[in-house]
Copies of this chain bind each other. A is one copy, B any other.
């Protein structure tokens, strides 16, 4: 009856719920500030939860922002392949769910014939709202 560990620990649940409620990506120390009333006192407790949540694909790190966002993409295979659009003006971040793109990148071979299972792609531009306003 070997059962995969599916249950998140208390700290992991707390951190995940904050990130899922947020409208956009959150920084680690902003998460820390938000969870101090719930008993998490130290950065490391947050970073440990983040690490685990990334590992199991519940959240992603936006590298260019050092911020963390919930995964909205049910079929991203344990977060190995991620793509985001980032607005240069309002900083809005959206995960891109596009089968053609992910297939293209997963099958991409570089000039030496090498393939890569894991990638992270960040697009930058103006989101629709910001484009209109300018």
Contact = CB atoms under 8 A, between A and B. Distances in A.
Interface of A: 63-64, 85, 96-98, 101, 104-105, 108, 110-112, 114-125, 127-128
Contacts of A111: 96-98
Nearest to A127: B114
A69 B48 CA distance: 29
27 contacts: A63-B63, A63-B64, A63-B122, A64-B120, A85-B114, A85-B116, A96-B111, A97-B111, A98-B110, A98-B111, A101-B108, A104-B104, A105-B123, A108-B123, A110-B123, A114-B125, A114-B127, A115-B125, A116-B123, A116-B125, A118-B123, A118-B125, A119-B121, A119-B122, A119-B123, A119-B124, A120-B122
A114 B97 CA distance: 13
Nearest to A131: B114
Contacts of A64: 63, 120
A121 B120 contact: yes
B116 A124 contact: yes
A-B complex: 8 closest residue pairs judged by Cβ atoms: A116-B123, A63-B63, A116-B125, A118-B124, A121-B121, A119-B123, A63-B64, A120-B122
